[in-house]
Chains A and B, each alone.
Chain A
């Protein structure tokens, strides 16, 4: 038998057998990461570092321009922001804006949910949603503002109307595409359990489509902010108390440019907070935990 193998053309190589080396041979198998590796591995630290760099660049450029009417430095903006917050004026403006924003956002999400459920229930509903989205999604919300003012007057209702318009289509479109891309197997599993109607939607479709839904919510949130600030700047004071957009506009008129920058900076800071903290928490606890998104 051995002779036969030896004459096989490809068996001219000797066989190799080896024992795995002892653990001492290669020292440490596990070691703690160094402080630097840990810091670099942490997302918040990396992001904070980028923000710091940006602030430094801003400060340096601001000082080289040396004209706070054109481009206030980071320091000037920060102190305007702090004094605005300290007097409570800026805080009130932010609060006014946020109230309207959250109202419009919430109504927009509910409307999107209704529209999407209609869309997945029947084929006609699907066509209805697709057509409406194709019609209205490209329409800038701000373009509707003059009409909204005629229909709803100078109150918060007009702002909410344009906010709903800016949130609704993005959320509906993303949710619907999430439902559509739910795997066939998961749908069959749900129906195999005997789930039907709303229970099927809430127990199977919504969690399965959550990555798309969260994306829709993020886009909707960004659209809503943009629309609100723009609308407030065009539209001015609503019922005595203006929002953040009005704060920016007003300070521009008074040539208090550091305050204008402070207003813009607060929009940015709120955006960073919502994206970097709230949405991140939501994603960490859901889609990322389930590895539906990396």
Chain B
């Protein structure tokens, strides 16, 4: 583990600004289900910098999705605060575009290109319809969907729908792109392809992205910085630097994966047996 922590971050060469884009400060989140108030995360802190591929990693029940929704402005922290470029997050807004896990996140009554154009117009990001359309075409081209621009979402496969959602998010050029397990509902082959494409897109534009996943392998592949959360409630277990891409695919990546797995589950294994046995 120490080896990994000390491995130099060779990623994100243009991390220049010293001010974090996103500052999560001691955030405690609670939600109510039935008659219970459940603690989702407890005093989680983290900072995301420009051009980071920041991954929130943890087993189910660690509050990582709740934390992402709080950053999206859908959920108020009961303690602590979330700041985006110094401004406190109080409500949802187009400066934090979200990519959801669900395939139904595209508006079914709009074509693919209309789905990308719509938020550009509604948020005033694009001044004219023409500008919005050019931008939408540019980003649809980036995700290789130019041919499907005039199709309705129901004609697309799951992977294509997620690509539209990513194009839509990127076209808005938000301060940060929030991705909530965007590839979790895809089949394994498509998932690997989408991960590669996401990295290619990042190489292209160096956007800032916050990526939630429960897959350790995915976190290692995608992230240049990985925040490990422990479950019930989510607390910071570690914040690690990612590996460079060549290492992530090789034996170093495997070792890193084991390390993270041990950190998340090792001393819990005995508990698990007692709970469920």
Contacts and interface: CB of A to CB of B under 8 A. Distances in A.
Given A193-B118, A194-B93, A186 B109 contact: no
Interface string A157-194: 00000000000000000000000000101101101111
A208 B119 CA distance: 16
A118 to B, nearest CB: 23
Interface string A186-223: 10110111110001000110011010000000000000
Contacts of A292: 108-109
B122 A185 contact: no
Given A191-B92, A192-B92, A291-B152, A186 B104 contact: yes
Contacts of B92: 188, 191-192, 194
B72 interface: yes
B94 interface: yes
Interface stretch (B81-89, B95-103, B269-277): B95-103
B109 A210 contact: yes
A290 interface: yes
Given A207-B107, A210-B109, A193 B123 contact: yes
Interface in B117-174: 118-119, 122-123, 152, 154
Contacts of A286: 109
Identify whether the interface residues of B are mostly helix, strand, loop, or mixed: loop
A176 B136 CA distance: 34
Nearest to A183: B104
A32 interface: no
Given A185-B100, A185-B105, A290-B108, A194 B74 contact: no
Identify whether the interface residues of A are mostly helix, strand, loop, or mixed: helix
A191 B100 contact: no
Interface residues of A, number: 21
A194 B122 contact: yes
Contacts of B93: 192, 194
A192 B107 contact: no
Interface of B: 72-74, 91-94, 96-98, 100, 102, 104-105, 107-109, 118-119, 122-123, 152, 154
Given A191-B92, A210-B109, 8 more contacts: A183-B104, A185-B100, A185-B104, A189-B107, A192-B94, A194-B92, A194-B123, A195-B122
27 contacts: A183-B102, A185-B100, A185-B105, A186-B107, A188-B74, A188-B98, A189-B98, A189-B100, A191-B73, A191-B74, A191-B91, A191-B92, A192-B92, A192-B97, A192-B98, A192-B119, A193-B118, A193-B119, A193-B122, A194-B122, A194-B123, A203-B118, A207-B107, A208-B109, A290-B152, A290-B154, A292-B109
